[in-house]
């Protein structure tokens, strides 16, 4: 099959969070099965060119309509981690992708609406007719709308579109001017069964448009597919999703086992695997040395996360205090999304700076994240909502036992050591339901007690996690089945 992935991120060349990892991991898994895969991205000024091989000009003189102008674009192409990528570079005063970062600009809806139109114009002008265009999140949500409303008639009529919702909280809201900017007719589209937001008058909801127009809609775990249909996690999209529920599926993400593999990880010394688990203890020593923690017979409880409301920052704070009170060491690596959250954690950092048992590192640090995975015993993930989550899976791969809230992909990938009905070899962590300190303690307390009192059983849980298949192998096949179903 010929599949074109279109999104705002592709790890590692342009990564902010899990979205970049998913487009990267899925593309590699599909390519490995012999499918023809290409990725189309904006040519951000912050792309790392060293990660792109053979970057060259692929197409010149593409004219992309925007308002009443034609914006000239060039398309560059190269290989990133073995996958062919195309980068759309507009040449206009807007400087759409010259902002030093990927997101966070007031004109984000315009920047990404333009990108969606430019991708289709590029496919049309080069005569490309992928079997599937796979779009992701609100940034590319206008693509299925534009393909049907404009490009079908122009001849781009072979591709079918699959749209994946990674985070429905961000929907891409804009005035109807944005539809006009990319050549769509607001009079036709601004109805609540198309793009008109159901709660906000005169507002176009781009993600709602993708749900209406895509041939298939997926989200990143089966449990989250249910949650967005039936609970407020649909973030106001429930009604639209209900109307289109026949095309909604949940496919859990995998992790890229080239990046997350303790047997080959270049960031850790020594490497280890389930057959030589004692080497993990040496990684624990190294982590302690690196962070200035004392050598002691204590478990290391870790958090590696964006410090965002969604991730349960209040419970993370409680986890730090509870772990220390319970005789553990605590390591937290995270970067805050808002100043008040940064202050919250800076406060704890000040209080615990000299401590022999606690270290908070408040920044993004890929290498340290790998070393924490290698050295830690327990990983805490107390999310309010979590469409899929990758950290519970990477933790398991490194023999770290996850303690997670029972939501979304966390509930689909972590099976409780005490209460799951799974076979003994399949249980791999601890779950809790209530979004309260007591709720968290009910699971974290069990994990800590197990570490102290029943080390052999704790070791078995680590091994169960390490042997859990969280690769892209199964999910890639599920996407292929969906693509086959909708293919022309
Ligand atoms: P989300 O995409 O919502 O942030 P995921 O769990 O899907 O959450 O993916 C987040 C990824 O980013 C994980 O691989 C996690 O380890 C990594 N990560 C998050 N915060 C940091 C940080 N401060 N430093 C290094 N890696 C981080």
Q: Are residues 424 and 340 in the same domain?
A: yes
Q: Is 334 in the pocket of ligand 1 (CB under 6 A)?
A: yes
Tens of pLDDT along the chain (488 residues) come to 999 999 999 998 999 888 999 999 999 999 999 999 999 999 999 998 999 999 999 999 999 999 999 999 999 999 999 999 999 999 999 999 999 999 999 999 999 999 999 999 999 999 999 999 999 999 999 999 999 999 999 999 999 999 999 999 999 999 999 999 999 999 999 999 999 999 999 999 999 999 999 999 999 999 999 999 999 999 999 999 999 999 999 999 999 888 899 999 999 999 999 999 999 999 999 999 999 999 999 999 999 999 999 999 999 999 999 999 999 999 999 999 899 999 999 999 999 988 999 999 999 999 999 999 999 999 999 999 999 999 999 999 999 999 999 999 999 999 999 999 999 999 999 999 999 999 999 999 999 999 999 999 999 999 999 999 999 999 999 999 999 999 98
Residue 393 corresponds to which tokens in the numbers above?
């899976």
Residue 95 DSSP SS3: coil
The protein residue whose alpha carbon is closest to atom 18 in ligand 1 is 305
Q: Are residues 355 and 236 in the same domain?
A: no
Q: Are residues 307 and 190 in the same domain?
A: no
C-alpha R_g of the chain? 23
Residue 419 inside a domain? The answer is yes
Q: Which atom of ligand 1 is nearest to the CA of 22?
A: 7
The protein residue whose alpha carbon is closest to atom 22 in ligand 1 is 364
Distance CA 79, CA 77 (A): 7
Residue 195 · residue 145 · CB < 8 Å? yes
Rounded to whole angstroms, what are the CA distances from 193 to 143, 163, 243, 244, 299? Answer: 17, 18, 9, 10, 53
User: Left, alpha or beta for 287 (phi > 0: left; psi -120 to 50: alpha)?
Assistant: alpha
Planar angle of CA 31, 244, 22, nearest 5 degrees: 25
460, 388, 283, 444 alpha-carbon torsion, rounded to 10°: -60
The protein residue whose alpha carbon is closest to atom 13 in ligand 1 is 391
The string of pLDDT tens digits covering residues 225-270 is 999 999 999 999 999 999 999 999 999 999 988 889 999 999 999 9
Q: Are residues 148 and 234 in the same domain?
A: yes
Helices vs strands, H then E, count in the chain: 18, 17
Total structural domains in the chain?
A: 2
Q: Is 391 in the pocket of ligand 1 (CB under 6 A)?
A: yes
Q: Is 259 in the pocket of ligand 1 (CB under 6 A)?
A: no
Q: Is 17 in the pocket of ligand 1 (CB under 6 A)?
A: yes
The protein residue whose alpha carbon is closest to atom 17 in ligand 1 is 305
**Domain extent at residue 460:** 274-467
Residue 479 inside a domain? The answer is yes
What pLDDT is stored for residue 18 in this prediction? Answer: 86
What pLDDT is stored for residue 257 in this prediction? Answer: 87
147 CB-side CA count, 13 A:
32
Distance CA 141, CA 109 (A): 10
Residue 259 inside a domain? The answer is no
Q: Are residues 324 and 216 in the same domain?
A: no
User: Which of 304, 313, 359 to mutate for ligand 1's pocket (most ligand atoms within 8 Å of CB)?
Assistant: 304
Q: Are residues 224 and 280 in the same domain?
A: no
Residue 269 inside a domain? The answer is no
Q: Are residues 289 and 220 in the same domain?
A: no
Residue 164 inside a domain? The answer is yes
Q: Is 381 in the pocket of ligand 1 (CB under 6 A)?
A: no
Distance CA 68, CA 45 (A): 26
Q: Are residues 217 and 316 in the same domain?
A: no
What pLDDT is stored for residue 62 in this prediction? Answer: 98
Residue 120 · residue 477 · CB < 8 Å? no
Beta strand pairing status for 358-361 and 430-432?
unpaired
Q: Are residues 50 and 83 in the same domain?
A: yes
The protein residue whose alpha carbon is closest to atom 3 in ligand 1 is 18
Question: Sign of torsion, CA 155 158 164 168?
Answer: positive
Distance CA 143, CA 34 (A): 26
For 391, list phi and psi in degrees, rounded to 5.
-65, -35
Residue 176 · residue 47 · CB < 8 Å? no
Q: Are residues 460 and 482 in the same domain?
A: no
Residue 268 inside a domain? The answer is no
Residue 338 inside a domain? The answer is yes
Distance CA 31, CA 82 (A): 9
Query: Which residue, among 23, 218, 64, has the nearest Cα to 151 in the 3D structure?
Result: 64
DSSP string, 173-221: EEETHHHHHTT--HHHH-STTTTB-SSSTTEEEHHHHHHHH-SEEEESS
Residue 485 DSSP SS3: helix
Q: Are residues 239 and 297 in the same domain?
A: no
Residue 200 inside a domain? The answer is yes
Residue 264 DSSP SS3: coil
Distance CA 320, CA 380 (A): 10
Q: Are residues 103 and 195 in the same domain?
A: yes
Question: For residue 102, what is the domain's CATH number?
Answer: 3.40.50.2000
Q: Is 7 in the pocket of ligand 1 (CB under 6 A)?
A: no
């Amino acid at each position: 099959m010929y599949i074109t992935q279109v999104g705002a991120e592709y790890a590692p060349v342009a990564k902010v969070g899990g979205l970049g990892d998913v487009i990267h991991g899925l593309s590699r898994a599909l390519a490995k099965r012999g499918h023809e895969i290409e990725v189309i991205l904006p040519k951000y000024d912050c792309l790392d060119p060293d990660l792109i091989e053979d970057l060259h000009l692929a197409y010149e003189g593409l004219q992309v309509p925007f308002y009443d102008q034609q914006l000239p674009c060039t398309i560059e192409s190269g290989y990133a981690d073995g996958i062919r990528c195309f980068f759309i570079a507009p040449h206009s005063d807007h400087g759409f992708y010259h902002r030093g970062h990927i997101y966070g600009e007031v004109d984000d809806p315009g920047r990404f609406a333009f990108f969606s139109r430019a991708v289709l114009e590029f496919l049309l002008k080069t005569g490309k007719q992928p079997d599937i265009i796979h779009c992701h999140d609100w940034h590319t949500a206008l693509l299925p709308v534009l393909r049907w409303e404009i490009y079908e008639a122009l001849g781009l009529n072979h591709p079918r579109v699959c749209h994946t919702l990674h985070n429905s909280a961000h929907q891409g809201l804009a005035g109807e001017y944005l539809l006009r900017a990319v050549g769509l007719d607001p009079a036709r589209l601004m109805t609540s069964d198309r793009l008109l937001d159901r709660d906000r008058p005169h507002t176009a909801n781009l993600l709602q448009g993708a749900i209406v127009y895509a041939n298939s809609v997926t989200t990143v775990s089966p449990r989250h597919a249910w949650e967005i249909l039936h609970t407020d996690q649909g973030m106001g999209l429930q009604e639209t999703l209900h109307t289109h529920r026949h095309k909604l599926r949940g496919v859990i993400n995998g992790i890229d086992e080239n990046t997350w593999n303790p047997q080959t990880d270049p960031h850790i010394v020594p490497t280890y695997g389930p057959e030589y688990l004692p080497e993990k203890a040496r990684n624990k020593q190294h982590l302690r040395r690196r962070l200035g923690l004392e050598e002691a017979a204590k478990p290391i409880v870790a958090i590696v996360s964006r410090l965002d409301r969604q991730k349960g920052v209040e419970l993370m704070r409680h986890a730090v205090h509870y772990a220390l009170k319970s005789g553990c060491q605590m390591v937290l690596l995270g970067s805050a999304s808002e100043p008040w959250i940064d202050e919250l954690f800076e406060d704890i950092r000040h209080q615990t700076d000299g401590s022999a048992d606690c270290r908070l590192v408040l920044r993004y640090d890929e290498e340290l994240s790998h070393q924490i995975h290698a050295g830690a015993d327990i990983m805490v993930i107390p999310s309010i909502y979590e469409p899929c989550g990758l950290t519970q899976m990477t933790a398991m791969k490194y023999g770290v036992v996850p303690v997670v809230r029972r939501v979304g992909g966390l509930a689909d990938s972590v099976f409780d050591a005490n209460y799951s009905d799974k076979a003994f070899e399949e249980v791999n962590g601890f779950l809790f339901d209530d979004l309260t300190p007591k709720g968290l303690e009910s699971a974290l307390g069990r994990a800590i007690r197990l570490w102290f009192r029943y080390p052999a059983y704790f070791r078995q849980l680590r091994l169960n996690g390490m042997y859990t298949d969280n690769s892209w192998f199964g999910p890639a096949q599920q996407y292929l089945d969906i693509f086959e179903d909708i293919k022309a």
